[in-house]
Chains A and B, each alone.
Chain A
Amino acid sequence: MSALAFVELEEGIAKKSSLEAVSYASSVESDVTAIVFGAMNDGEADKIGTAGAGKVLHVSDDQLAQPNIMAYASAISEAMEKEGSSLLVLAKSSLGDPVSARVAIKTDASLAANVVDLPDTSDGFKVKCSIYTGKAFVINTLTGDKKILGLKKNAVAVKEDGGSASVEKFAPGKSDEDFKVKVTNREKATGEILLPEADLVVSGGRGLKGPENWGMIEDLAKTIGAATGCSKPVSDMDWRPHHEHVGQTGVKVSPSLYIAVGISGAIQHLAGVNSSKYILVINKDPEAPFFKAADYGVVGDAFEVVPKLTEAIKAQQG
């Protein structure tokens, strides 16, 4: 049986979460094809191959170069049919989520979202998924002939021992129905590390007192190569843009390290970060509830601790 992995490109580069999807697919099925849309940088097909795909279906149609939920769902369904794929794996994202749900209906597949681990196939096909905003897991049994898995970040590591992938042009059929939604503009921070993709995240809260004090958060983030985030009050007050809001009703992150500065740790904020591998909390209030959810803590004034921490890291970086 074969599997298809949907690989999202970010400025021509395969997203790391998508490479995780390729590696996940290759741990389940031996025969893995990746599908990509739009201009792909040199070397990216090799990366996808190393991650575990034997073939890359490349859609270079100009009309499909920019993300389009309905048209991508149609193209991916067609690719599954063409390749005889019984499994589709993709990374959770603002594109992957809606595309996977549409493909599930088109192909009559069983869909599981927020998958955190490889399937247990000893008795049927069982996958573990994150629920209650990271507060619990469910084991789902998928009984459809076709299966679609939407992966949470860090569900598996990206493989580095795959072979090379051949690149095949793929020109899916197009229907006017799929182009009813006109994307008139796209505003996107460039050159920044995207929050949901980031391995390291530095977030600031109300304790920072105002948007003018974000320089030290950005310095620390830049020093370690982290994305920046914030708490809900901070984005509500427009100190930071909404796409940086981490929490129950914002972005849910699962980085290796989450650094929270001046955030008390309301349960709604914790819901967005509880899948982080390690949490470091910097807060002057020793009673801040966030310390209970943290691995490391510094009780101290953020305005002193953060710049000193940045210096200490720089010193060790040499």
Chain B
Amino acid sequence: MKILVCITHVPDTTSKISFTDNNTKFDKTGVQFIIGPYDDYALARAVELKEANGGSITVLNVGEAETEPTIRKALAIGADDAVRVNAFPSDAFFVAKQITKVAKEGEYDLILMGRESIDFNGGQVHSMVGELMGLPSVSPVMVLDVEGNTAKIQREIEGGKEFMELELPFVAGCQEPIAEWKIPNMRGIMSARSKPLNVVEPTGDASSVKAETFEMPPAKGDVKLIDPENLDELVNLLKNDAKVL
């Protein structure tokens, strides 16, 4: 089984978010970058599927040279080789176009990625890749089992889940509990250094969505503490002050 896993290079979930250059650029100062948490689930499931069925895993990132340590980590976790499309991932359409180009050349059985990136949270790329390739796309996937050429999937929906069956190949946006995150071991880290990481140049597809400026939410005021012996006051505040009851 040939699996393509697309990963994002995003700020750690505990990062303080701020912007520079007149609020036009993300401030990377002091920020640690990681494999997107949802992408990490996709990668972990790919490693399990490879262990069970054999095959290979290619990891793909659309990003500038600074993302290579993140890609190496994915190689240490269990991908066999990597492709980096040398471009800033400006928006979902642009990234989907890059993935589609690599995916078409590789003829993969499965194209996995996270349900969304945790920077822009669009959750669009997997569905766009599916549409661009003429393949089904399913997201968010919580269970992915493959038997022969058929996959059984559980997709989360509001208040429950959907059970699905479909033939390979397809695109899936993954989330927990599809697999447990894998922590690279020493052997993985050592071997990752010598695994191939190919850098390719992007296609020239211009996007029609442009991020102009960034804003922070207004600062939160102080919490109003209410005595646990005086909950009537709390009900009153919720009813008449906040007007939410």
Contact = CB atoms under 8 A, between A and B. Distances in A.
Given A181-B138, A189-B160, A316-B235, A267 B216 contact: no
Contacts, number: 253
Listed residue (B92, B131, B214) with the most chain A CB atoms within 10 angstroms of its CB:
B131
B104 interface: no
Given A132-B17, A243-B160, A312-B232, A104 B165 contact: no
Interface residues of A, number: 91
Contact of B176 (A249, A281, A292): A249
B120 A73 contact: no
Interface residues of B, number: 78
B18 to A, nearest CB: 8
B121 interface: yes
A257 B242 contact: yes
Contact of B244 (A97, A113, A177, A256): A256
Interface string B108-147: 0000000000111111111110111010111110100000
- Give the interface SS of chain B, mostly helix, strand, loop or mixed: mixed
A131 interface: yes
A189 to B, nearest CB: 4
The 9 A-B residue pairs with the shortest CB-CB distance in the complex, in nearest-first order? A300-B228, A101-B127, A188-B160, A144-B208, A101-B124, A105-B131, A257-B244, A110-B208, A185-B163
Given A102-B127, A181-B166, A308-B231, 16 more contacts: A94-B158, A98-B127, A98-B137, A102-B128, A102-B137, A110-B209, A113-B122, A137-B215, A138-B215, A140-B212, A180-B167, A192-B159, A243-B160, A249-B37, A268-B13, A312-B231
Interface of B: 11, 13-14, 17, 19, 37-38, 92-93, 96, 118-128, 130-132, 134, 136-140, 142, 155-167, 170, 173, 175-177, 208-217, 220-221, 223-228, 231-232, 234-239, 242, 244-245
Interface of A: 67, 69-70, 73, 93-95, 97-102, 104-106, 109-114, 126, 128, 130-144, 177, 180-189, 192, 194-197, 199-200, 224, 242-243, 248-249, 256-257, 267-268, 271, 274, 277-278, 280-281, 291-301, 304-305, 308-309, 312-313, 315-316
